[in-house]
Amino acid sequence: MTINQMLDKIFKNWKGFPNINVLGKYEFLSQTVCANSLEMKHIESLINNPNDIQLKRKIFGVFIHEITHWLDHTSTLWRQKFLIDIFNAFNAKENENIDESWRIQKLFSDLSRMQFADYYTVDGSAAKKPWNKELWNYEFGCGLQFGRDGKISETHPFLFTKFFTSDNEFIKRVPLSVISLLETNAVASELQLEVALLSLLKQEEFFIENKLIEQTYLKRLYNPELTVYSVATHCLANLAKISDATAYFLASALSTLCLNLPSQVFQLLKIPANPGFLTSERKTLGLARFRII
């Protein structure tokens, strides 16, 4: 496979951030923010109606989510290293340097690890059923990734959360990935925007809008299709017994810490002596493999 063919493969297979709609997107390889759902008429309408909270929510909500991805990509330690990898891969292609072509394969591998392949996410029998307004049950687990040879690799574990209905019907298994951390930050930014917009309202409007926002984010939290956006928040809320929007902000703070954690201090992290879902071997491997940088 030539260098050009490898680069084409990267673009063909890289699906970027998960999206179930086309409101907006962020492209890693070009560092481009796209607001697909917005037109110039929306911007002009906001200029003419600067106090329209629905317009602000529509316009600012798209940008704040995607720009948060851009900020994380350009300002966090892990992402800055990733920018160097992108440059090295494109530079190898541009110079047609066969000795540097390995950098293209490395970029492709790194992109694949950021968001686990679809087969690591498993839909259960309740994945398509409407939410019954009851809290989900959950359990944490540790699986094994497939190696480059297509076989299960004992040296590459990954963490996941399995969700169940209140009747213990299986909903979904979701890996805890780098993408899930980035989406946690983006959703928290959206929620911060909502809080800022609420502060501009009169008291009677505030209570109505606040109730609608709570309902919206609760539905998002318990939407099986959006679990990659919420899995980190679920993990924190379940472990810390948090039942309100504070979980979004705290999960975002921890996600940002992970994205800025140097590998030199990773060994200093204290792992629970008996986390339950990890064997002693996988816990040891986790110290080497469950790292962001």
Residue range(s) defining the domain that contains residue 20:
1-114
* Domain end position, chosen among 98, 114, 130: 114
Residues 6+ apart with CB under 8 A from 11: 29
% of the chain beyond a pLDDT of 70: 84
Token couple for 131: 């939410």
**Highest mean pLDDT of the ranges 88-92, 167-171, 219-223:** 167-171
pLDDT at 289 over 70: no
> Which one has a higher pLDDT value, 189 or 281?
189
Instruction: Kindly indicate the confidence band of residue 291, based on its pLDDT and cuts at 50, 70 and 90.
Output: very low
- The number of beta carbons lying within 10 Å of the beta carbon of residue 235 is 21
Residues 6+ apart with CB under 8 A from 122: 172, 173
- The answer to whether residues 104 and 141 belong to one domain is no
- The answer to whether residues 255 and 173 belong to one domain is yes
- Phi, psi (rounded to 5 degrees) for 10: -60, -50
Given the structure tokens 């540790």, which residue do they identify?
Answer: 142
**Highest mean pLDDT of the ranges 67-76, 94-103, 269-278:** 67-76
**Highest mean pLDDT of the ranges 139-153, 174-188, 210-224, 237-251:** 174-188
Instruction: Kindly indicate the confidence band of residue 288, based on its pLDDT and cuts at 50, 70 and 90.
Output: very low
- Per-residue pLDDT reduced to its tens digit, 212-237: 887 888 888 888 988 888 899 988 88
Instruction: Kindly indicate the confidence band of residue 273, based on its pLDDT and cuts at 50, 70 and 90.
Output: low
- The answer to whether residues 240 and 289 belong to one domain is yes
Give the count of alpha carbons within 13 A of 85, CB side only: 21
pLDDT at 281 over 90: no
| Alpha-carbon gap, residue 225 to 127, rounded angstroms | 8
Q: Give the pLDDT score at 293.
A: 34
34 forms bridges with which residues in the sheet? 25
**Highest mean pLDDT of the ranges 25-34, 270-279, 284-293:** 25-34
This prediction's pTM = 0.79
Instruction: Kindly indicate the confidence band of residue 170, based on its pLDDT and cuts at 50, 70 and 90.
Output: very high
| Alpha-carbon gap, residue 57 to 233, rounded angstroms | 22
Task: Assess contact for 35 and 20: CB atoms under 8 A.
Answer: no
| Alpha-carbon gap, residue 32 to 10, rounded angstroms | 17
* Per-chain mean pLDDT for the chain: 81
- For 24-83, strand residue ranges (E) read 25-27, 32-34
Nearest to 90 by CA among 178, 10, 27, 148: 10
* Cα angle 18, 103, 263; round to 5: 70
Q: Give the pLDDT score at 292.
A: 39
- Per-residue pLDDT reduced to its tens digit, 48-58: 998 888 889 88
32 forms bridges with which residues in the sheet? 27
- The answer to whether residues 159 and 265 belong to one domain is yes
- The answer to whether residues 122 and 217 belong to one domain is yes
Q: Give the pLDDT score at 290.
A: 45
- The answer to whether residues 166 and 286 belong to one domain is yes
- For the chain, strand residue ranges (E) read 25-27, 32-34, 122-123, 137-146, 152-164, 170-175
> Which one has a higher pLDDT value, 224 or 6?
224
* Domain end position, chosen among 95, 114, 133: 114
- The answer to whether residues 179 and 292 belong to one domain is yes
Rounded (10°) CA dihedral 277, 279, 285, 290: 0
pLDDT at 4 over 60: no
- The answer to whether residues 121 and 94 belong to one domain is no
Task: Assess contact for 14 and 29: CB atoms under 8 A.
Answer: yes
Region of residue 133 (left: phi > 0; alpha: psi -120 to 50; beta: else) = left
- The answer to whether residues 139 and 32 belong to one domain is no
Three-class DSSP category at 93: helix
| Alpha-carbon gap, residue 214 to 48, rounded angstroms | 29
Instruction: Kindly indicate the confidence band of residue 8, based on its pLDDT and cuts at 50, 70 and 90.
Output: low
- The number of beta carbons lying within 10 Å of the beta carbon of residue 238 is 17
> Which one has a higher pLDDT value, 245 or 283?
245
* Domain end position, chosen among 114, 138, 167: 114
Give the count of alpha carbons within 13 A of 17, CB side only: 31
